[in-house]
Amino acid sequence: MGKNLITVGWREWVALPDLCLDHIKAKVDTGARTSCLHAFEIDPYEENGVEMVRFLMHPIQKRTDIVTECFASVVDKRIVSDSGGHKEQRYVISTRMLLGTHNWDIEMTLTSRDEMMFRMLLGRTAMEKRMLVDPSASYLTGIPEGYEDL
Amino acid sequence: MRLTYAMFYLLCSVVSYQAVADSKAVIGWVEYASLHNRNISLKAKMDTGADNTSLHASNLKLISKKGEDWVRFELPDEVGGTHTIEQPVIRYTSIKRRGVSAQERPVILLKICVSNQLREVEVNLTDRSNYSYKLLIGRSYMEGLFLIDSASMYTVSPDCK
């Protein structure tokens, strides 16, 4: 185990600047392999021969009145089955994630399921060799100003 | 003088708190866990995304013992054996699931050993035969004991007295 691992809680505020998402609360989930972002109106399109996806999301939990439009290039399409056994085609995007003073590129699937409590799940692939998760802690990398009660 | 003692105690409590904070052991996202006093070892997924602990139960039956709700179920281990377990039901929990209706699960108390840590926790019972891991350990068990490394598996063995 490397010694430069950052310790984070099971909930953290992260930023996804390429998607224009400055503050998004992520559930840090060692039970999930892939990371996942809750999106809706997911529409693929092509730009200069590159497969792109445009989607909307509610960046803040319980605030369906706030909508952000995001654009990302598609790195893969996958068939994913959920805990209820349903299969769904999902787009995989690659994007930069900021967590505390660290940043790196992560891959995320886009899902349109409404039942997701957290707008973002951070899975093992994105965490490997970078962080340890403390199940007793939350927001070890800080809470953005004005977001204390969200 | 009184102030000095107060400061001394304050310092001690800060130091011991630090020791506790630093004593959490780093383990992998899958580890062997044992059910205490039952000689059953299971692969357990250490899931920071789950509040609670969940165990596979086949042929789950609700029975009545001395007027109390009990549960009887079979638990296959990792080496081809099957164990029959009977335990009192302490409550029922309703699990919200994506896309399908909620599910009622009986909850029992079990002493689970991971590494050298023994902790009694509430465990909900469900059919996990479609999943790779028969035991899913949630945050309420791990709190204060472990840090989870998503890059490693099977780093410790259950060893509790």
Q: Are strands B82-88 and B68-76 parallel, antiparallel or unpaired?
A: antiparallel
* Per-position DSSP letters for A62-108, written without gaps between them: T-TT--EEEEEEEEEEEEEE-TT--EEEEEEEEEEEEETTEEEEEEE
pLDDT score of B95: 79
Q: Which pLDDT band, with edges at 50, 70 and 90, does A105 fall under?
A: very high
Chain B residues touching A84 at Cβ < 8 A: 97-100
Mean pLDDT over the full length of chain A:
90
Give CA–CA dist A90/B123, Å, rounded. 33
pTM, 2 dp: 0.85
Q: Kindly state whether A136 is in contact with chain B, defined as any CB-CB distance less than 8 angstroms.
A: yes
- Interface confidence (ipTM) of the complex: 0.87
Cα distance from N-terminal residue to C-terminal residue, chain B: 44
**Neighbour-count burial for A3-41, b at 16+ CB within 10 Å, e otherwise:** eebeebbbbbbbbbebbebebbbbbbbbbbebbbbbbee
Cβ within 8 Å, pair A28-B48 = yes
Q: How much is the average pLDDT of A132-140?
A: 97
Chain A residues touching B142 at Cβ < 8 A: 135-136
Mean pLDDT over the full length of chain B:
88
Chain B residues touching A10 at Cβ < 8 A: 48-49, 139
Q: How much is the average pLDDT of A66-91?
A: 85
pLDDT score of A9: 98
Q: How much is the average pLDDT of B132-151?
A: 97
Q: Which residue has the higher pLDDT, A85 or B155?
A: B155
- For the segment A9-50, what is each residue's pLDDT rounded down to a tens digit? 999 999 999 998 999 999 999 999 999 999 999 999 999 999
